[in-house]
Chain A
Amino acid sequence: MTTLERVKRVVGEVMRVPDGALEVTARIEDLGESDSLTLAEIATSLDMEFGIRVPSEDMIDARSVGDLAALVERLLRTADSSRTS
């Protein structure tokens, strides 16, 4: 499963939207019934799914599912490079 597919699954579970229905360009705030805690919930679920810490500042900048997947990939690369260095 690719990072994008895993991110879509996580977002779909939090937003209660079938992940098959999520487009890469889908904006988080347009999905389901989001509220002020939705970002924090997605960040927590991404933390658990990928074993990383997704900082809130980066979450706020990520507007779409594709942005989130790119963010996770960047954080995974950073985590990998810090482990190997």
Chain B
Amino acid sequence: MRSGWAEVRYRWLLPLARGGRARGRAYARIVARVERASDPERVRVASARIARALSLDPVRAERVYRGCLYSEALEEADSVYFMHRPALDPALFQFDELPEALDGARPANVGTNVGTDVGTIFGTLHFGAPVLCYLALCARLGGGLSIVGRPLDDANPMPESKRTYARAKVRWAEQVAGRPFIATDSAAMAQARDELLAGRSLFTPIDVPGSVARRAATVPVFGEPVRFACGLMTLARLTGATVVPVVAASSPDGIRVRFGQRLDPGGGADDLLGRALGELLRFVRTNPDEWWMWPYLEPAR
């Protein structure tokens, strides 16, 4: 049932979102409904966690999780819509609560000039519209920003129809940003270090489950200890790069980008990851229906 549904979802339904954002919202509603019906165990796990984290009753917690499924599908629809437009309109992005150092043409330590200034690591969540968040930041900063993410190879399990869509999305994002994705292997991490030391910046999700990485740290998520990968925080510590938490979410008017406080990389990677997630969980508390990771959090043993 799951692979048949993935085929219908990615091969037949998702392309309809090219025709307009209203169609994209319709796609997201259908997908959220089918996903909820087809995987009750995932819904149960996520809803129970949301109920504990936010002190909600089970009915409201499940409603929040329905919103998460909608958010994830809407991100796909928005991506497909914008992939088929000639260019991203800068007016589409609304930036809000900019940290002081970013509220200018280009902050001293974020840019494309090779020099002694170290770049910034923009840490995000699987929340709202992460790839559009990256492209919004690229437009805002005027270049010099690369995204770091898991390659779409066999080690990253997903149905083939979803992989085809995801690869097209990566090609589009690379073309818009003018920079290739940076993978997570040894050579790529060494390259990422060079990027930061040359004053260029990185954008990366920091809520990646600990089991997919060698280095992981335990961080409290609404009072429960959870394991997350912490390699990029180690890179911040190695290079002296500051970390800026950032999320973006879709609205009918566009994409709204919100920042947390810029974080000093002092202390250990565990501590930095905890502080960055602490900033980002403020956005989750405000909009819990935008965070896709509720069912996938790995409790620390």
Interface, chain A (partner B; CB < 8 A): 33-41, 43-44, 53, 55-56, 59-60
Please report the C-alpha to C-alpha distance between residue A55 and residue B215 in the assembled complex, in whole angstroms.
23
Interface, chain B (partner A; CB < 8 A): 184-194, 197, 214-215, 231, 234-235, 238-239
Q: A55-B194, A60-B190 are in contact. Are A36 and B238 (CB under 8 A)?
A: no
What are 5 contact pairs spanning A and B, CB under 8 A? Answer: A37-B234, A39-B187, A39-B189, A40-B193, A56-B187
Please report the C-alpha to C-alpha distance between residue A60 and residue B186 in the assembled complex, in whole angstroms.
8
**Residues of the A chain whose Cβ atoms lie less than 8 Å from the Cβ of B192:** 40
The residue from B193, B214, B215, B231 contacting A43, defined by CB atoms under 8 A apart: B193
Taking A33-B214, A56-B190 as given, write out 17 further A-B residue pairs in contact, using a Cβ cutoff of 8 Å, ordered by the A residue number.
A35-B186, A35-B215, A35-B231, A36-B186, A36-B214, A36-B231, A37-B231, A39-B189, A40-B235, A40-B238, A43-B190, A44-B238, A53-B197, A56-B191, A56-B194, A59-B190, A60-B190
Please report the C-alpha to C-alpha distance between residue A43 and residue B197 in the assembled complex, in whole angstroms.
12
- Closest residue of chain B to A28 (Cβ to Cβ) is B186
Assess whether B197 is in contact with A37, with CB atoms less than 8 Å apart.
Answer: no
Please report the C-alpha to C-alpha distance between residue A82 and residue B215 in the assembled complex, in whole angstroms.
39
**Residues of the A chain whose Cβ atoms lie less than 8 Å from the Cβ of B184:** 36
- Closest residue of chain B to A34 (Cβ to Cβ) is B186
Assess whether B185 is in contact with A36, with CB atoms less than 8 Å apart.
Answer: yes
Assess whether A37 is in contact with B194, with CB atoms less than 8 Å apart.
Answer: no
